[in-house]
Amino acid sequence: MIIKYDSAADVFVVKVREGALVNEELLDSDVVLGYDRKGKVVSVEILDASKKGLLSAFLELAKSNKDTAKLLLSKIY
């Protein structure tokens, strides 16, 4: 799992598995799911992450309990 944050774009990205990105789906105008050629989710992008408070909430969770953060991320695919 790779987690990145682009402060200039305010985009929080979580790469949940290895694989080439071949398709993307926009959900609720602020979440983009990236799929591999088998249709499995390989990445999740959250747009305007800091404005939604998601970035700070996830960072606090990751600092305090890495196992819980991994469990939450595993539920998305």
Average pLDDT over residues 21-42: 91
Alpha-carbon torsion 58, 11, 13, 76, what sign? positive
pLDDT tens string 36-59: 999 999 998 989 888 877 766 666
Is the model more confident about 14 or about 1? 14
- CA separation for the pair 56, 77 (Å, rounded): 23
Q: Measuring CA to CA, which residue among 54, 2, 5, 6 is closest to residue 28?
A: 54
The pTM of this model reads 0.69
Residue 69: band (very low, low, confident or very high) from pLDDT cuts 50, 70, 90: low
